[in-house]
Chain A
Amino acid sequence: MMQVRKNWQLYVLFAPVLIYFIVFHYVPMYGVQIAFKDFMANKGIMGSPWAGFKHFERFFDSFYFWRIIKNTMGIGLYELAVGFPIPIILALMINEARSGRFRRFVQTVTYAPHFLSTVVVVGMIMMFLSPVSGLVNFIITSFGGEPIAFMTEPSWFKSIYVWSGVWQGMGWSSIIYLAALAGIDPQLHEAAKVDGAGWLRRIWHINLPGIAPTMTILLILNIGSVLGVGFEKIFLMQNPLNMEASDVIATNVYRSGILGAQYSFSAAVGLFNSIVNFIMLITVNRIARKVSENSLW
C-alpha cells in the first residue's frame, strides 16, 4: 500500500491507458454478446432479445460456410508454408555474405517494400498483372504464351496473394533472424572450422540452433493467425469474378455486417473466427512448450 501511495503519479499516468484498453478492447469483447442476440438498434446491445445459437447455426448451415473456411484455411496455410521459411533462408544467406557493403545494399532494398501501403501494393499487383497493359503478360506473350487474366481467375488468387506478400515482407521479417544470428558466438564457428566442419554443416549445427528460439516464437504467432488472414489486402484484391477463391471470414463479416447491417450474424462469424484463432494459439503454444521449451508463455 505504501508503494502505491508513493507511486501515485505512475497510476495517474497509467490510468488513460487502462481506460483505453477497457473501452476499446474489453467493451467490444463484452459487446460480442450480440452474436447471441437479435440486435435491434433502438434497444441497444443490452436490451436486444437473446437468440441463442441461431446466428451460429445459420452460419454453419449457410451455402458460403465451407467456401469461406476453405479459402481462409487455404490462404493461411499457404502463407505459413511459404512466408515462414523464406525470411529465415534470406537471413541465413545475408548472414553468409562477406562484403558489408553488399549486405547493406541487399538489406536496404529488401526492407523497402514493407513501407508501401497495402493499397499501393495491390495497385501495383494489378498494374503488373493486367491482361492488357501488364508487364507480366508482356513477358508471357513475348515467349509466345497467351495473356492470363490473373486477377479475375480464381485459381491464381492464392498464389498472387501469398507471393506478393513474400515480395513485400521477406526482407523485413528477416531482420529479427539477422538479429538472432548476430548474437551467435563467432568462436563456435571458428571451433567448428578447426574441426573441419563444412559450410552447410556449420549453418545446420550452429546457425539454425542459434535462431531456433526465435523461429519457435514466430511459428507460434504465425500459426495462431492462420485463420486471421488479413482483411486489408484480400479485400482490395477481391472482385466479383475471383470471389470463389477470395472470400474469407473477414471479408464476409465486412460485407454482411458493415455493409449489410446484419450485426448479430456477422458478429457471430467474427466471434467464431476469434475463438478458433485463440484455441489454435494456445494449442500450438502448449505443443511448443512440451517439445522445445520455447513458448510465448
Chain B
Amino acid sequence: MPQSRSERIAGVFIYIILSFITLLVLYPLYFVLIASISAPETVMRGDVWIWPRELSFVGYERLFANSELMRGFLNTLLYTTTGTALNVMMTIAAAYPLSRADFNGRGIFTAIIVFTMFFSGGMIPNYLLVKELGMLDTIWAMIIPSAVSVWNIIIMRTFFQNSIPKEMQEAAFIDGASNMRVLWRIVLPLSGPILAVMVLFYAVGHWNSYFSALIYLSDRSNYPLQLFLREILVQGQMQEMVDISDDSLARSLMDAEAIKYAAVIVTNLPMLLLYPFLQKYFVKGVMIGAIKG
C-alpha cells in the first residue's frame, strides 16, 4: 500500500519522538552504570557524560565491605523465596475453585475477595493486628499479611477459565479423578507460562518491597536489602546538604556518592540482566489481566 506524503512525515516524526523517549528512559540507567565505575571526583565535577572516566571501583569495594548489606541481601533472599512460594500456592488455591462454574458460592467468594481491592481498614488496624498476632519483628510479618494479591488471583482465574480445555477436566472426572487430582495432573501441568508470570510478579514485589519491613521490623538483623538501601541512597542525602569544609569529610562524601551509584547497580543488575529474557512473560501476565479487568 503506497503511503501518502503526510503519512511518511508522520512516520518519521513518530520515530524521532519514540527515539527521544527511549533515550530519556535509558540514559539515567546508563549514567548510573558509568558513574559507578568512574572516579568519584570526576562524577562530582560533572566530567562523566558518555564514557566512564578514570576507572575506579571504590564504590563497589566499600559496598562489599559492608557486612550489614550482605545480611540484608540474605534476608531479602529468604523473604522472597518463602514469600513467593506461599503467594503462588495461595493464588492457585484461590483461583482454581473460582474458575469452576460448578463451585457453589463462587459469586459471593469473588465479591468478598474483590471488595478488599477497593476498601481497607487502613494502615493502623493492620499494624495492630500484626502486633496482636505477635508477628512483629519476625519473618511472618514479611510474608503472611501479603500472602496473596487479588489482582493476581483474577489473572490466574481468567487463565484457568479460558486456556484449560474444559473437556479434558470433564473427561478426567468421568474416569473418577478427584478435584485435587485434576488440578495436580491436568490443570497445573498446562499452566506453566502463567505460573512463571506469577512467580515473577510476586518475586519482584518481594525483592523491591520496603514498606512492610519499615513498619513491622525494628531489629536491624531482620532488615531486608531495601531498608539498607534506603539508608544509603535516601537518608545519606540528608548529610550531604549539611555544609562541610573538612577535607577528609569531603573525601568520604565523594566515596558516599560512589557507593550510591554502586548500590543501585548491584541491587538491580540481576534483574536488569534477566529482564530482557523474562519480558515476554511479564507482558503476557498484563495481557491476560487485561482480558477481563
Q: Do most interface residues of chain B lie in helix, strand or loop, or is the interface mixed?
A: helix
Whether the pair B210, A28 counts as a contact (CB closer than 8 A) is: no
Across the interface, name the chain B residue whose C-beta is closest to A231: B211
B90 CB contacts on chain A under 8 angstroms: 16-17, 20
User: B68 CB to closest chain A CB, in angstroms?
Assistant: 15
Across the interface, name the chain A residue whose C-beta is closest to B272: A112
- Chain A positions 1-23 with a Cβ under 8 Å from a chain B Cβ: 3-4, 6-7, 9-11, 13-14, 16-18, 20-21, 23
User: A15 CB to closest chain B CB, in angstroms?
Assistant: 8
User: B52 CB to closest chain A CB, in angstroms?
Assistant: 14
B122 within 8 Å of A by Cβ? yes
Whether the pair A18, B28 counts as a contact (CB closer than 8 A) is: no
Whether the pair B237, A111 counts as a contact (CB closer than 8 A) is: no
Across the interface, name the chain A residue whose C-beta is closest to B40: A133
B57 within 8 Å of A by Cβ? no
B65 within 8 Å of A by Cβ? no
CA A127 to CA B59, docked complex, whole Å: 14
CA A283 to CA B100, docked complex, whole Å: 32
Contact with A along B264-293 (1 / 0, CB 8 A): 100110011001100100110011011001
- Chain B positions 31-69 with a Cβ under 8 Å from a chain A Cβ: 31-32, 43-44, 46
CA A179 to CA B124, docked complex, whole Å: 38
CA A267 to CA B125, docked complex, whole Å: 7
B249 within 8 Å of A by Cβ? no
Contact with A along B113-148 (1 / 0, CB 8 A): 100101111111111110000000000000011011
Contact with B along A189-218 (1 / 0, CB 8 A): 010010000111000000000000010010
B168 CB contacts on chain A under 8 angstroms: none
Whether the pair A119, B121 counts as a contact (CB closer than 8 A) is: no
Whether the pair B96, A13 counts as a contact (CB closer than 8 A) is: yes
- Chain B positions 12-35 with a Cβ under 8 Å from a chain A Cβ: 14-15, 17-18, 21-22, 24-26, 28-29, 31-32
Contacts A24-B147, A232-B210 known; 6 new A-B pairs at CB < 8 A: A108-B279, A115-B268, A122-B233, A152-B241, A199-B6, A258-B124
Chain A interfacial positions (CB closer than 8 Å to B): 3-4, 6-7, 9-11, 13-14, 16-18, 20-21, 23-32, 34, 45, 90, 93-94, 96-98, 102, 105-113, 115-120, 122-124, 126-128, 130, 132-133, 135, 138, 142, 149, 151-152, 167, 171-172, 175-176, 179-180, 190, 193, 198-200, 214, 217, 224, 231-232, 236, 239, 250, 253-254, 257-258, 263, 266-267, 270-271, 273-274, 277-278, 281, 296
A-B contact pairs, 5 of them (CB 8 A): A10-B97, A14-B109, A31-B129, A97-B14, A123-B234
Chain B interfacial positions (CB closer than 8 Å to A): 1, 4, 6-7, 10-11, 14-15, 17-18, 21-22, 24-26, 28-29, 31-32, 43-44, 46, 90, 93-94, 96-98, 100, 102-104, 109, 112-113, 116, 118-129, 144-145, 147-148, 178-180, 183, 204, 207-211, 215, 226, 229-230, 232-234, 237-238, 240-241, 257, 260-261, 263-264, 267-268, 271-272, 275-276, 279, 282-283, 286-287, 289-290, 293
